[in-house]
Amino acid sequence: MRKQAEYTVFQGRAGDHNDLAMPGAKAIGEELESRTGIAPTVIGTPEPALNTGWQVELVAALPALKSIQSRFNDVFARGAVSIAATSRCAVSLATLPAVAKHFPSACIVWFDAHGDLNPPEASPTGYLGGLALAGPVGLWDSGLGAGLGLDQVVLVGQRDLDPFELDLIALHDIPLVKPKADLVTELRTAIDGRSVYVHLDCDVLEPGIVPTDYKHAGGLSLDDLGACCELIAEHDFIGIEIAEFQSAWETNGSPVSSNALLDALKPILTLR
């Protein structure tokens, strides 16, 4: 049975280094509307990036983050699948506790070049986005809740991990699926038949495929991502948040289409 999907675009500030992700999220929402005929619900209002430490960024983002958390709670309470363009990874501080509330045993498949598993005291950079998964799994208190266990996390594509994160992954035996020939087989084993919620940071992809804030060689191809989505579509699919898609390769640059990215995500966006 095809599930109903609801679409959300986050337009608030959330630890942004630059002003390219908010229009990037808007562009994804516009393309999804073009493909489905369904207008997304827009949360937040664009504001210039602060590009500062996590404490200041969190205070500035908190009203919009609470609004998107309320939106997610409403979507899940209606039994819908959530398709969201969330601009930056820090938005997961709000979205994932809502996932945990409504789907307490869900598997979180975290596509990202990074782990985002540092609590503030372990962060080498003080960047709010680097704390994005650590909050929902209870490693620090963001004020937005938690509820997930580390045994619910599956990491995919990470290749820039900090010492605290490496120790945490080893201690808790968190699955770490790296880009390789048996990527889909490893992901299937890690999901282990559970319901799936997807976080996609576009820097999981090989640099040059789509514009992102960070660039780390050795990433997934769009074919790799599509194959993973084919597998995820075989499971009970809860939703996806698409983060870190920037609207252009550089500030004041020409707009970049999200079409190729959304084509790779088709297996789960069409909910078949």
Report the alpha-carbon distance of residue 245 to residue 261 in Å, rounded: 9
Stretch 78-107: mean pLDDT? 98
Give pTM, 2 decimals.
0.97
CA angle 31, 32, 37 (to 5 degrees): 105
What's the one-letter identity of residue 41? T
Rg of the chain over Cα atoms, rounded to whole angstroms, equals: 17
Kindly report, residue by residue over 22-34, the tens digit of the pLDDT: 999 999 999 999 9
Kindly report, residue by residue over 96-146, the tens digit of the pLDDT: 999 999 999 999 999 999 999 999 999 999 999 999 999 999 999 999 999
Q: What is the mean pLDDT of the chain?
A: 96
Cα torsion 159, 162, 167, 172: sign: negative
3-state secondary structure of 107: strand
Report the alpha-carbon distance of residue 92 to residue 95 in Å, rounded: 5
Phi-psi group of 22: left, alpha or beta (phi > 0 → left; psi -120 to 50 → alpha; rest → beta):
alpha
Report the alpha-carbon distance of residue 87 to residue 252 in Å, rounded: 18
From edge to edge, which strands make up the β-sheet containing 81-87? 41-43, 5-10, 81-87, 237-243, 196-201, 107-111, 153-156, 176-177
DSSP for 207-264, please give it: TTSS--S---SS-B-HHHHHHHHHHHTTS-EEEEEEE---SSSSTTPPP---HHHHHH
Contact predicate 10/64, CB 8 Å: yes
Kindly report, residue by residue over 219-247, the tens digit of the pLDDT: 999 999 999 999 999 999 999 999 999 99
Closest CA to 93 of 63, 69, 118, 67: 69
Contact predicate 42/29, CB 8 Å: yes
CA angle 170, 171, 173 (to 5 degrees): 60
